[in-house]
Amino acid sequence: MKLAGKVAIVTGGARGIGSGIAKAFASEGANVAIADLDYEGALAASMKFGESAFAIKADVSIKIDVETMVKSVIKKYGRIDILVNNAGIQTVMPFLDLSRKDWKRVLDVNLSGAFLCSQSVAKEMIRKRINGVIINISSIHGYIPRSTKLHYDVSKAGLIMLTKETALELAPYHIRVNCIAPGIIDTPMNQELLRDPEKRKMIEQRVPLEKIGSADDVARAALFLASDDSSYITGAALPVDGGLSLNYNGLKPVGSS
- The dihedral built from the CA positions of residue 239, 240, 244 and 247, taken in this order, carries a sign that is positive
60 binds ligand NAD (CB under 6 A): yes
| Stretch binding ligand NAD (CB under 6 A), from 76-84, 87-95, 167-175, 246-254 | 87-95
Instruction: Please tell me the distance from the alpha carbon of residue 244 to that of residue 246, in angstroms, as a whole number.
Output: 5
Considering Cα of 161, then 164, then 168, then 173, what sign does the dihedral take?
positive
Residue 203 contacts ligand NAD per CB under 6 A: no
Cβ contact 8:34 at 8 Å: no
* Least distance (Å) between residue 90 CB and ligand NAD: 6
Compute the least distance from the CB of residue 84 to ligand NAD, in Å: 10
* Separation in Å, CA 71 to CA 33, 37, 74, 80, 136: 12, 17, 5, 10, 21
Q: Of 8, 22, 36, 115, which lies in the binding site for ligand NAD, with binding defined by CB under 6 A? A: 36
Give whichever of 124 and 216 is closer to ligand NAD, judged by the CB atom.
216
Close Cβ partners of 25 (under 8 Å, ≥ 6 residues apart): 3, 6, 8, 10, 32, 82, 222, 223, 226
Mask for 150-179, x = binds ligand NAD (CB under 6 A): ------------------------------
Residues 120-139 binding ligand NAD (CB under 6 A) are 137, 139
In whole angstroms, give the CA distance from residue 126 to residue 118.
Answer: 12
Write down the catalytic residue from 143, 152, 232, 248.
152
Q: Is 143 a catalytic residue?
A: no
Using CB under 6 A as the criterion, which residues of the chain lie in contact with ligand NAD when the complex forms?
Answer: 11-12, 14-18, 36-38, 41, 58-61, 86-90, 109, 113, 137, 139, 182, 184-185, 187-190
